[in-house]
A and B are shown apart, each in its own frame.
Chain A
Amino acid sequence: MTGAELVVKLLTEHGVHSVFGYPGGAIMPIYDALYQSPVKHYLCRHEQGGGFSAIGYARASGQTGVCLATSGPGATNLITALADALLDSIPVVAITGQVSQAVAGTDAFQEVDVLGMSLTCTKHSFYVSDVADLADTLREAFSLAQSGRPGPVLVDIPKDVQLAQVDYQPLHLTATSPATELSQFAEQIAAARALLQQAQKPMAYIGGGVHMADALPELNAFLTATGMPSVTTLKAMGSVEKSNPLYLGMLGMHGTQAANLAVQQTDLLLCLGARFDDRVTGNLKKFASEAKVIHIDIDPAEINKLRFADVAMLGDLKALLPAMTAAGNYADWQAHCGALKQQHGWRYDHPGERIYAPLLLKQLSERMPDNSVVSCDVGQHQMWVAQHMRFNSPRNHLSSGGLGTMGFGLPAAIGAKISRPQDTSVLVTGDGSFMMNVQELATIKRFRLPVKIIVIDNQRLGMVKQWQQLFFAGRYSETDLSDNPDFVSLAAAFAIPGHSISHKDEVESALDAMFSWPGPYLLHVRIDETDNVWPLVPPGAANQDMMTDLPQWEE
């Protein structure tokens, strides 16, 4: 077979049924091999859309996402998606065609140093110069993408390698990750348990690493047994069971007041698969400054990177959490956290007839089918989704956390729908973000994907505008989007029906109409451009010093 046919063979060997991409000159042999192959190719309308669809596929399913692009501009268009996958630790294998080696390094047509470009935005990248190495390289790429802390891996394959003849040798050995041996952690586990016993006000700070370790059952058993209050990062939303009364929500810049206040008061922070990033900590020196820290992660580079850990464990949370479980006696602290939660609950009786996005999202959360996957973009709507919607799994909340990439949402929702066709895929986007990968409406049309799209439109680049209002003296530089297209007409051009609403009393019936429609649907929601996201921890401030515009009181 040819190298290109071997690529397809290796995809099936790894259980890959769906790939996303866009063809071009240097990857034509692989596209020829895909033709009438068992691997389903989803033609996106931009390589970035293909990359984000692969991410959405991976995040919603837990499997590795695969995307394809040609050399030169095809590969450069993938770079943003690779960076997004790296920052959020998403397993993606990107396969790029490259010019033939006979012309490599001559500035040939559509030649660019993809390997060099990918160094900073992948977990690893390979250039395959010999077809004899192709199978091992692809197998290694899948293994690397999934192992340890997951991430994107790129394989750049010159056209002559795709065309060269090679034999397929089945994989006989299955590599397995070594199990975490608890005995090697005996000292740390004992130290951690001692800290847990001494603590009066412990707090679990839960990151995306927990669900990526497939440790949600162990996490929830741990929280229940210990009675420890908890907070999550953006990426970990949905990790804690909805019924847990001591879950305080998301912490950080736009976290809940209860979460931020409680974390600032804790005397023991149990950091599980999280990394103390700046959107979480605010002023790092003032973050939970009285707390001792237990940090458990799979990535050694995260331990002591930003915050010293009194006890650190590098291992599998699925094994380590049960070993640390011991009933605690934190009654006063539990009561205090419960009171904070009550005192700072969200308020939804926004005055006026205009649609209030937080209320709409709460209504959406309550009305959408069980196990829906909600993808969002980046900006105000993204934070409102995190604040006002509840999820029963992190796989049901796809949000570009680390890179914060506008344009992520629509292709991610496509990937999610393809990976979980039985579940409803909902996109919540903003008028700015939506336009960044709007061409993917054509992908929805082509494959008749019933994605439900909600465009929250304030005719502004809302989050930037909010910061201009707060920190740049109201100088609204380039954030006016009042010349947006008619989004319902735009959707109609792709055979997607839609409806536009602007009053509160239209919301429930509009949501019902959207969900009852069997195909894709776009709901355009006009909101007031003066609505902002609260609370907000200003730059350089400690997390207890939140700006709050709205009064918040008991629900």
Chain B
Amino acid sequence: MSNAAQSQQHTLTIHTRHEAVAIERLLQVTRYRGFTLAGLELKPLADLSGLLITLSVVSDKPVSLLVNQLNKLYDVLDLELHQAEAGALRA
């Protein structure tokens, strides 16, 4: 929709089901929708009820395009967009 001139980094905190395939789905959607992976942290919740994933991405696309797609995933229980860093990373 938009041709933003600058890439931006965004960080998302995602709570998923405790399924290994959940992380595959997150990465597949991230790649396919045109977002570059800039960071990934993953840890199981203490009670093993799910995974807590911190995903950082870079793209010149509006991050809402990724958030909306990730929110559709069955394995995603909760998703929070932390920040949209304004600094340009790449033209």
Q: State whether these chains interact.
A: yes
Contact surface of A with B, Cβ cutoff 8 Å: 115-116, 119-120, 123-124, 127, 144, 299-301, 303-308
Pair B74/A120 contact, Cβ less than 8 Å:
no
* Contact pick for B69, options A127, A301, A308, CB 8 Å: A301
Q: Report chain B residues within 8 Å CB of A304.
A: 1, 62, 64
Cβ of B18 < 8 Å from any Cβ of A? no
Pair B72/A301 contact, Cβ less than 8 Å:
yes
* Contact pick for B24, options A119, A305, A306, A308, CB 8 Å: A119
Cβ of B86 < 8 Å from any Cβ of A? no
A271 and B69 CA atoms in complex are apart in Å by 20
Pair B72/A305 contact, Cβ less than 8 Å:
no
Given contacts A299-B72, A301-B68, A301-B69, contact A307 B21 (CB under 8 A): no
Cβ of B65 < 8 Å from any Cβ of A? yes
Having A119-B24, A120-B32, one finds 4 other A-B pairs with CB under 8 Å, namely A124-B74, A300-B68, A300-B72, A305-B65
Q: Report chain A residues within 8 Å CB of B28.
A: 119-120
A120 and B25 CA atoms in complex are apart in Å by 8
When C-beta atoms are compared, the residue in chain A nearest to B66 turns out to be A301
Q: Determine chain A's interface SS by DSSP, over half rule.
A: loop
13 contacts between A and B (CB under 8 A): A115-B21, A124-B73, A124-B74, A127-B21, A300-B71, A300-B72, A301-B68, A301-B71, A301-B72, A305-B1, A305-B68, A307-B1, A308-B1
**Min distance, Cβ A107 to any Cβ of chain B, angstroms:** 19
Q: How many interface residues does chain B have, given as a range?
A: 10 to 19
When C-beta atoms are compared, the residue in chain B nearest to A153 turns out to be B74
- Residues of B10-58 at the interface with A, using a CB-CB cut-off of 8 Å, are 21, 24-25, 28, 32
Q: Report chain B residues within 8 Å CB of A127.
A: 21
Complex A-B, nearest 5 residue pairs according to Cβ-Cβ distance, in ascending order: A301-B68, A124-B74, A301-B69, A300-B68, A119-B28
A386 and B54 CA atoms in complex are apart in Å by 47
Q: Report chain A residues within 8 Å CB of B24.
A: 116, 119
Which residue, A115, A123, A124, has most C-beta atoms of chain B within 10 A? A124
Q: Report chain B residues within 8 Å CB of A300.
A: 68, 71-72
Q: Report chain B residues within 8 Å CB of A119.
A: 21, 24-25, 28
**Min distance, Cβ B84 to any Cβ of chain A, angstroms:** 16
A229 and B68 CA atoms in complex are apart in Å by 31
When C-beta atoms are compared, the residue in chain A nearest to B62 turns out to be A304
Which residue, B28, B62, B71, B72, has most C-beta atoms of chain A within 10 A? B72
**Min distance, Cβ B12 to any Cβ of chain A, angstroms:** 15
**Min distance, Cβ A116 to any Cβ of chain B, angstroms:** 7
When C-beta atoms are compared, the residue in chain A nearest to B25 turns out to be A119
**Min distance, Cβ A387 to any Cβ of chain B, angstroms:** 30
